[in-house]
Amino acid sequence: MGKRMKLKGRKIFAGKASGEALVTAMGISFFGGVDPHSGVVVEKNHELEGQSIAGKILVFPTGKGSTVGSYTLYRLKSNGKAPSAIINAECETITAVGCIMAEIPCVDQIPVEQLKSGQEIAVDGGKGTVEVLTGDNHAA
Protein backbone atom coordinates (compact mmCIF):
# COMPACT_ATOMS: atom_id res chain seq x y z
CA MET A 1 0.00 0.00 0.00
CA GLY A 2 1.20 3.50 -0.80
CA LYS A 3 0.53 6.77 0.98
CA ARG A 4 -2.80 7.32 2.64
CA MET A 5 -5.20 9.37 0.56
CA LYS A 6 -6.92 12.25 2.36
CA LEU A 7 -9.72 14.18 0.71
CA LYS A 8 -11.31 17.43 1.87
CA GLY A 9 -14.96 18.11 1.20
CA ARG A 10 -17.91 19.99 2.64
CA LYS A 11 -19.40 19.25 6.06
CA ILE A 12 -23.01 18.08 5.93
CA PHE A 13 -23.33 16.47 9.38
CA ALA A 14 -20.62 16.19 12.04
CA GLY A 15 -19.47 12.98 13.59
CA LYS A 16 -16.74 10.44 13.05
CA ALA A 17 -16.95 6.95 11.64
CA SER A 18 -14.64 4.45 10.03
CA GLY A 19 -15.18 1.18 8.32
CA GLU A 20 -15.44 -0.65 5.05
CA ALA A 21 -16.51 1.37 2.03
CA LEU A 22 -19.45 0.29 -0.10
CA VAL A 23 -19.23 2.28 -3.33
CA THR A 24 -21.61 2.72 -6.24
CA ALA A 25 -21.54 4.99 -9.28
CA MET A 26 -25.37 5.03 -9.19
CA GLY A 27 -27.64 7.36 -7.22
CA ILE A 28 -29.54 5.89 -4.29
CA SER A 29 -33.21 6.30 -3.45
CA PHE A 30 -33.65 5.37 0.19
CA PHE A 31 -37.46 5.30 -0.09
CA GLY A 32 -38.25 2.18 -2.11
CA GLY A 33 -34.61 1.50 -2.91
CA VAL A 34 -33.41 0.32 0.51
CA ASP A 35 -35.31 -1.95 2.91
CA PRO A 36 -35.47 -0.01 6.22
CA HIS A 37 -35.71 -3.23 8.25
CA SER A 38 -32.72 -5.05 6.77
CA GLY A 39 -30.56 -2.29 5.26
CA VAL A 40 -30.44 -4.23 1.99
CA VAL A 41 -30.60 -2.40 -1.35
CA VAL A 42 -33.77 -3.68 -3.04
CA GLU A 43 -33.94 -1.39 -6.09
CA LYS A 44 -34.09 -3.58 -9.20
CA ASN A 45 -31.03 -3.40 -11.44
CA HIS A 46 -29.13 -1.20 -8.98
CA GLU A 47 -25.39 -1.86 -8.82
CA LEU A 48 -25.75 -2.64 -5.09
CA GLU A 49 -28.96 -4.70 -5.35
CA GLY A 50 -28.94 -7.41 -2.66
CA GLN A 51 -26.13 -5.85 -0.62
CA SER A 52 -26.49 -4.44 2.89
CA ILE A 53 -25.51 -0.85 3.64
CA ALA A 54 -25.66 -1.48 7.41
CA GLY A 55 -22.48 -0.37 9.16
CA LYS A 56 -20.74 0.54 5.89
CA ILE A 57 -19.24 3.82 4.77
CA LEU A 58 -21.74 4.34 1.95
CA VAL A 59 -20.30 6.17 -1.06
CA PHE A 60 -22.50 7.31 -3.95
CA PRO A 61 -22.69 10.34 -6.26
CA THR A 62 -26.04 11.76 -5.09
CA GLY A 63 -29.41 10.76 -3.76
CA LYS A 64 -32.61 10.55 -5.76
CA GLY A 65 -36.30 9.97 -5.28
CA SER A 66 -38.96 10.90 -2.76
CA THR A 67 -38.49 13.18 0.23
CA VAL A 68 -39.70 10.22 2.32
CA GLY A 69 -36.13 8.97 1.81
CA SER A 70 -35.04 11.26 4.66
CA TYR A 71 -37.36 9.42 7.04
CA THR A 72 -36.18 6.08 5.63
CA LEU A 73 -32.60 6.96 6.69
CA TYR A 74 -33.96 7.71 10.16
CA ARG A 75 -35.78 4.35 10.20
CA LEU A 76 -32.59 2.58 9.11
CA LYS A 77 -30.76 4.18 12.05
CA SER A 78 -33.57 3.29 14.48
CA ASN A 79 -33.39 -0.33 13.26
CA GLY A 80 -29.60 -0.50 13.59
CA LYS A 81 -29.24 -0.92 9.81
CA ALA A 82 -27.97 2.52 8.75
CA PRO A 83 -24.61 3.18 7.14
CA SER A 84 -21.90 4.40 9.55
CA ALA A 85 -21.31 7.43 7.33
CA ILE A 86 -22.26 8.76 3.90
CA ILE A 87 -19.94 10.27 1.31
CA ASN A 88 -21.36 12.02 -1.77
CA ALA A 89 -20.14 13.96 -4.74
CA GLU A 90 -23.21 16.19 -4.29
CA CYS A 91 -25.43 15.72 -1.24
CA GLU A 92 -28.96 16.74 -2.16
CA THR A 93 -31.59 17.77 0.38
CA ILE A 94 -33.16 14.32 0.91
CA THR A 95 -29.88 12.69 1.96
CA ALA A 96 -28.73 15.74 3.96
CA VAL A 97 -31.95 15.92 6.01
CA GLY A 98 -31.90 12.15 6.56
CA CYS A 99 -28.31 12.28 7.83
CA ILE A 100 -29.15 15.16 10.17
CA MET A 101 -32.27 13.41 11.53
CA ALA A 102 -30.44 10.10 11.96
CA GLU A 103 -27.16 11.67 13.12
CA ILE A 104 -25.13 9.96 10.40
CA PRO A 105 -21.79 11.66 9.60
CA CYS A 106 -21.93 13.00 6.06
CA VAL A 107 -19.45 14.75 3.75
CA ASP A 108 -19.89 15.82 0.15
CA GLN A 109 -17.92 17.50 -2.64
CA ILE A 110 -15.70 14.41 -2.64
CA PRO A 111 -14.48 12.81 -5.90
CA VAL A 112 -16.29 9.54 -5.20
CA GLU A 113 -14.84 7.89 -8.32
CA GLN A 114 -11.51 7.75 -6.43
CA LEU A 115 -12.99 5.44 -3.78
CA LYS A 116 -13.58 1.71 -4.07
CA SER A 117 -15.62 -0.88 -2.22
CA GLY A 118 -13.60 -2.74 0.37
CA GLN A 119 -11.31 0.13 1.27
CA GLU A 120 -11.11 1.03 4.96
CA ILE A 121 -12.20 4.66 5.19
CA ALA A 122 -12.37 7.19 8.04
CA VAL A 123 -14.88 10.05 7.83
CA ASP A 124 -14.79 13.18 9.97
CA GLY A 125 -18.02 15.01 9.25
CA GLY A 126 -17.04 17.93 11.50
CA LYS A 127 -13.88 18.62 9.50
CA GLY A 128 -15.30 17.51 6.15
CA THR A 129 -12.52 14.98 5.61
CA VAL A 130 -12.37 11.50 4.15
CA GLU A 131 -9.25 9.38 4.59
CA VAL A 132 -8.54 6.07 2.89
CA LEU A 133 -6.76 3.96 5.52
CA THR A 134 -6.24 0.68 3.64
CA GLY A 135 -6.56 -0.73 0.16
CA ASP A 136 -5.47 0.56 -3.22
CA ASN A 137 -5.48 4.36 -3.09
CA HIS A 138 -5.56 4.86 -6.84
CA ALA A 139 -8.66 5.45 -8.93
CA ALA A 140 -9.84 2.45 -10.90
66 is an active site residue:
yes
Give the chain's domain count: 1
Of 18, 38, 52, 66, catalytic: 66
Does pLDDT of 138 surpass 60? no
Give the dihedral of Cα atoms 73, 77, 79, 81; nearest 10 deg. Answer: 80
pTM value is: 0.94
Whole-number Å distance between alpha carbons of 73 and 71: 5
Asked if residue 140 is part of any domain, the answer here is no
Asked if residue 29 is part of any domain, the answer here is yes
Question: Residue 139's pLDDT band (boundaries 50, 70, 90)?
Answer: very low
CATH number for the domain spanning 32: value is 3.50.30.10
What pLDDT, in 10s, does the model give residues 88-98?
999 999 999 99
Question: Residue 37's pLDDT band (boundaries 50, 70, 90)?
Answer: very high
